[in-house]
Every structure is written in structure tokens, then in C-alpha cells.
Amino acid sequence: MNLDKLQKQDYQTGQVLLIDKPLGWTSFQVVNKVRWLIRQEFDIKKIKVGHAGTLDPLASGLLILCTGKFTKQIQSYQAQHKEYTGTITLGGTTPSYDLETDIDQKFATTGITKEAINKAREQFVGDIMQQPPIFSALKKEGKRLYEYARAGETVEIPKRPVHISAFEITRVDLPDVHFRVACSKGTYIRSLAHDFGKALNNGGHLSALRRTKIGEFDVKNAQTLEAVIAHFKGAKGS
């Protein structure tokens, strides 16, 4: 992705931009920022920019942005398998299954062995049924699940099939378990962390997450958002 060679008509015809999303940014904020930068640089009143798969603010990594007519391809990118690296912290659960909310239950981790961790891991490889977290943007009866959660309402969330082609434990440093996961569209890594803790008769939540791949696209080939912003500011000043 060489931004220096792209012109106004390139963005309008369509481009795939690989962004390494930083922590703290929503995917929507990244889209808005890049759209604004393109409009400012080329004096365009309107241009389509969309992303192919949400990353939570507490996650970093690969975010595919499509511009112009390429926004019609977004669904095809969303359907591709994805890979992540991250950390599951045992010994505590949170309502959101990650660090968005505070720990609500605590557990001792002293009896957990590497053998038990690897045995638990095996349960989550292949086709599995997974319950999405209530702190998610999925809709039920026209309302986002996180709206029910923030209102303190209980709602039944049906499990759904997902496929995990790889679940590798890369390092164990209790209470932290570091991992790599390759999975299908619709897989919630937060739910995986929560269910992994339950499989150990313990509690677990996602404490770090980074998306490294979407299909054949790799975060190694992505631009940092900081670099993209610097590029457009530099181009505007030249």
C-alpha cells in the first residue's frame, strides 16, 4: 500500500487500505478519520469509506478499509478467516468478557497446570457452539445486546456455530495465558476467553488482543494510523 502513488481518482475508483489500528480507537473512528483525510487532501465533498470487520477499542491490529467502489467488496473480506494473538487472564471474570468492565468474580489459579490448560484448549478446536457476549453489537428484537447489558437487563442469547481452525498456547505465565487463534467469521475471542476459563473450572477474561490476519492480508503489510495521518498532513503541506 503505497499512499504516495495514489491520486484522487484511485480512491474514488476503489482502494483497499490496510491499517494497523491502535488501541483506544473504534473502527468507526478510524474510518471517519481516513475519510476526512482523503476529502481534505483532494477537496472531495463525498467519498465512500468502510471497514471489513470491527475491532474493539481494546484491540489492535489489522483493519481493512475499502474506498469508493471497492466498498462493494467489504462483505467478501468480512467472510474470510481471521487470525489473532492475545492474552487470556485467568482467575477472574468480567461481564463484558474483557477489560471494558470490572472483575465480578475471582478464582484461585494456584492449582492450574500446563497440562490442564492444553487439555482445555483441545475443546475449542474445530466446529464449536459459542455464545456471543452480551456486551456486543449484535441485535435482538431490534436492540443492540450491549444496550440490554448497560440497562442491567437479562436477555437470552442463543449459541451459534463457529469454526476454530487453530488454537495455540504460545506461553503460560499464570494468571496469563498467551495464545494464537485462527477462526471463522463471527467468532468472539472474548467468548473464547470466558469459556476457556470455565473449561478449567475457573474464570477467564480477555486482557489483550491483536488481529494479525484477514484471509491473505497480514498486519505486517499494514500502515500505522499515525503514519497515514502523517502522510496526508505532509502531502497537504507540500
Count of CA atoms in the C-beta half-sphere (13 A) of 142: 0
The verdict on whether 56 is a catalytic residue reads: yes
Burial of 75 (0-12, 13-18, 19+ CB in 10 A): exposed
The H or E element that residue 27 is part of is helix 27-42
Backbone conformation region of residue 45, classed left if phi is above 0, alpha if psi is from -120 to 50, else beta: alpha
Pairing of the two strands 223-224 and 16-21: parallel
Q: Which of 20, 56, 98, 195 is the catalytic position?
A: 56
Angle at 210 between CA 18 and CA 22, to 5 degrees: 60
Q: Which residues are catalytic?
A: 56
